[in-house]
Every structure is written in structure tokens, then in C-alpha cells.
Amino acid sequence: MTKTICFNVFEQCVKAIQNGELIESESEKDKEFHFQNWFKSRLGRLGLDFDEPGRNTYPDFRLVKFTEGYEVKGLKWPGRDSTYDSNSQVPTGYHNGREIFYVFGRYPADLTPYPKQRNGRRQYPVVDLVICHGNFLNADHNYVHKNRSVKGFGTYGDIMIRDRKMYVAPTPFALTDGTTGLKTLIVPESIKPDNRFQDVGRLTRVEAATLVVGYTFNLRTNELNAERIPNPNAGAEHQFVAYRLTGDASKRVSMVSDVTVLDENIGADEE
């Protein structure tokens, strides 16, 4: 990757948080677009052109002049913030010719201390922020997400079963120590910043011993079983660097010793 705007995007987000730029809910039931709109305003401040996001687009923001995109994930805190659901695309650092960055922002779970504005919306702060390259979450660029279906189910053979995948991945807050309450950028070590940034941690992700290449579901026993093969790159290390703005907190960032994908707030039927 020879040219990126991710450092400017991160800096703009940090400055907005420091200047008290608040998230504003679209409605009482808004669960998706509040933090996305906040991030959209940051791209606007930078004068960046991008394709407008939609419910079924990936990533949320696809830049025009730079071959990169940004997928935005707002998380309640405290709450379920160690994992997140991805309904349309497995996490990846490269998609459709673009480098992909993920924007994780946590906001207060309890909004009652933040009074409604005249327009009926609430305004509340970004608690902490991590922007990370998608390779930090998953370095595989070859898997292609597709939904498939099976026909002929049911007594009369006219019911279709749709295989609609959902991926549950750990967030950077679960993968690292030293990011809570702070603003952190995580990129591959090959992406170098300028003197606006300080190095606050070297992070290594190690490839697993096996790869899941398929799965089967038994409709009589409701058992789901994974098909695994040995990973030819088992043990390979992927190196990343955590950065913050110079003058911001210098607290070090490190990998946690063990990450469990299952979140405490996911029920047994959702495992």
C-alpha cells in the first residue's frame, strides 16, 4: 500500500472527540446510523469524496480518490463490545480493489443523562475509538461471501432453506489491552506515519493451526459441525503497529493472551 489517507481520517476523528463533537441519534430506535453519521461528518471535514452508504453495501464508505474503504461499527459501552456481528461480509483487509479499515467507536449504553434536543434527538460522546486495518481482524483476502439455498424441505417438498451467513468476530477492544478510554490507530507495520504520530505498541497476530473450509448442519439433531484442514501457513506472524497522535496518551497497547470469540451476551442458540 503506497498511499493512504487513514492517518488524516484518524486525526480528524480524534480532534472531533477532543472538541466535543457529539454523536446525534436519528431517533429513539436508531441502532445503526448514529455513529455512522458522526464518522461521515469527519470525512466531510476532510473534503473527501465517497460513495453514500446503504444497508447492503460494503464497506460503508468507499472513497473515490483513494483506493480504500471504511466499515463503521458503533458499540454500546458497557455492553456487548468484545464481539460484533457482520451479516454481509467476513472481516477482511482488502475487498474489491480497496484496502479496508474498520472504525470501532464506543458510546454510553445509558443515554438518560443526555437530554433530548429540540428535535427530539439525543447527543452523546464517543467514549473511545479504534481504527484498524481489516487485516488485523482477518488477513484472508480470498474468501468470497455468498448466500446459498436448498430446495425441497418440508412435508410437501416446497420449502426452501436459505443459508444466510452471519460472522461473529472479536473487536480490537477484545484483542488488545491498553485501548480502553483512548483513541488508537492500528495498521500493518508496512504503513508508515509521519511525525504527527507516536508508536504505542507492536502487535503480532499468529495464524491458526487449522482452517475451517466448510460446515454441515443436521436437521434432525440440530448439530452444526465444521470441516477443518491444516493451515499451510500455521504459525505465520502478521505484524501491526498501534499509533496515537503525538501529545496524546502514551499508554502502551499489547495483545491479550487469549481471545474467546463467544461474547457473554450471545445466547446458546447463537453460538
pLDDT in tens, 156-200: 999 999 998 899 999 999 999 999 999 999 999 999 999 999 999
State residue 259's pLDDT score.
67
Residue type present at position 109:
A
State residue 153's pLDDT score.
93
pTM of the predicted protein model:
0.93
Pairing of strands 128-133, 183-188: parallel
C-alpha grid cell for residue 126? 464517543
How high does pLDDT run on average in the chain?
91
Average pLDDT for 17-23: 97
- Where does the pLDDT of residue 207 fall: very low under 50, low under 70, confident under 90, or very high at 90 and above? very high
Distance CA 159, CA 150 (A): 9
C-alpha grid cell for residue 265? 451476551
C-alpha grid cell for residue 234? 500455521
For residues 168-185, one letter each, b for 16 or more C-beta atoms within 10 angstroms of the residue's C-beta and e for the rest, the string is ebbbbbbbbebbeebbbb
- Where does the pLDDT of residue 29 fall: very low under 50, low under 70, confident under 90, or very high at 90 and above? low
Pairing of strands 123-124, 23-24: antiparallel
To 10 degrees, what angle do helices 6-18 and 33-45 make? 110
User: What values do phi and psi take at 84, rounded to 5?
Assistant: -140, 155
pLDDT digit string, tens, across residues 214-256: 999 999 999 999 999 999 999 999 999 999 999 999 999 999 9
State residue 118's pLDDT score.
84
Kind and range of the H or E element at 12? helix 6-18
State residue 262's pLDDT score.
52
Q: What is the DSSP letter of 122?
A: B
State residue 3's pLDDT score.
85
Q: Cα dihedral angle (240, 246, 248, 254), rounded to 10 degrees?
A: 20
